[in-house]
Amino acid sequence: MKKLISGIAILFFFFSSYVNAQQLALYSQYMLNDFFINPAIAGSKEYSPVLLSIHKQWIGIKDSPSTQTLSGHTMLSNNNVGIGAIIYNDDFGPESHIGINAVYSYHFHIDRLNKVSLGLSAMAMQYKLDQRFLTLTIYDDPAITYMIEKTIVPDATFGAYAYGKKYYGGITASHLFQSKLKINRNLEENTMVRHYFIMGGYKFNFKDAPQIEIEPSALIKMTEITPPQFDINVKMYYDKDYWFGISIRPGDSFVTTIGFKHNQYYFGYAYDFTFSDLSAYTFGSQEIVFGMNIGENVRRSRSFF
């Protein structure tokens, strides 16, 4: 199993400019905090959400990807400027990323209920490759030093977001600079690939069952060198404080999510059932989310949206 994960990591490392490598952390419950994806969302809530996410991918495969993320954002007193930050750690076999994002957004008021915002995130990431981890069949490869290689990578993300009482939609471009990973003098080029995200959703209410709400949503992920990938999601809320959702990633996995909210605090759990070629080696993936909505008026609105 170690050889399997080493082989995947080597492929991601040496061909990241040509394949859809996991250069960005993967989340199953991004609907709970889409701020992970789009910086323009900073300040779009009537409170200040703080969230901790723990994601373990490909359970059953040793040293498979593991991601821990802490984020928070808020609107400043002028009701136009949002700020936020994201701190994350992402490990995958010999690879690891530790980074911080500082986020700024500006919100335009179309009318009392509808707004459009633009956001920019500045990122500093430490990329580390522990080549002592690698298990190779060719031992004289000049690209392998069997040392710990480290580098600091700057980059940026831009996002646009439109939102109202029942809907939201946005577009994001990340790795704008396509920064080079200068970690091995034997490699001429190893760059971050620019990623694009398009997301949107709508929440339906029912007069005959006011305690029930249903929210379909979708996320499209793509790069400049790979075809689009789709996430199709449906989430059902009961009494605003309990939810159940399903998502499908065609050709990859089926995701189920559950969660509940109590006052300003909420909890979410997701399990990914893998049906790609990796299903022979893994039981799936899991994610746990803990959140707190600082300053939320619980009496006026119990929903975390």
Per residue in 73-125, pLDDT tens? 999 988 899 999 999 999 888 888 899 999 999 999 999 889 999 999 999 99
Q: Which of 11-25, 142-156, 167-181, 258-272 has the lowest mean pLDDT?
A: 11-25
Residue 299 predicted with pLDDT over 50: no
3-state secondary structure of 144: coil
Residue 15 predicted with pLDDT over 70: no
**What whole-number distance in Å separates Cα of residue 304 and Cα of residue 268?**
12
Structure tokens at 35: 């701020």
Closest CA to 195 of 150, 159, 249: 159
DSSP labels, 184-247: -TT-S--BPPPEEEEEEEE-EE-SS-TTEEEEEEEEEEEETTEEEEEEEEEEEEETTTEEEEEE
Tokens 């746990």, located at residue: 288
**What whole-number distance in Å separates Cα of residue 190 and Cα of residue 11?**
12
Question: What does the pLDDT read at residue 260?
Answer: 95
- The pLDDT of 225-253, averaged and rounded, is 91
DSSP lists the bridge partners of residue 103 as 84, 121
Q: Tell me: the pLDDT tens digits for 179-199?
A: 877 766 555 567 788 999 999
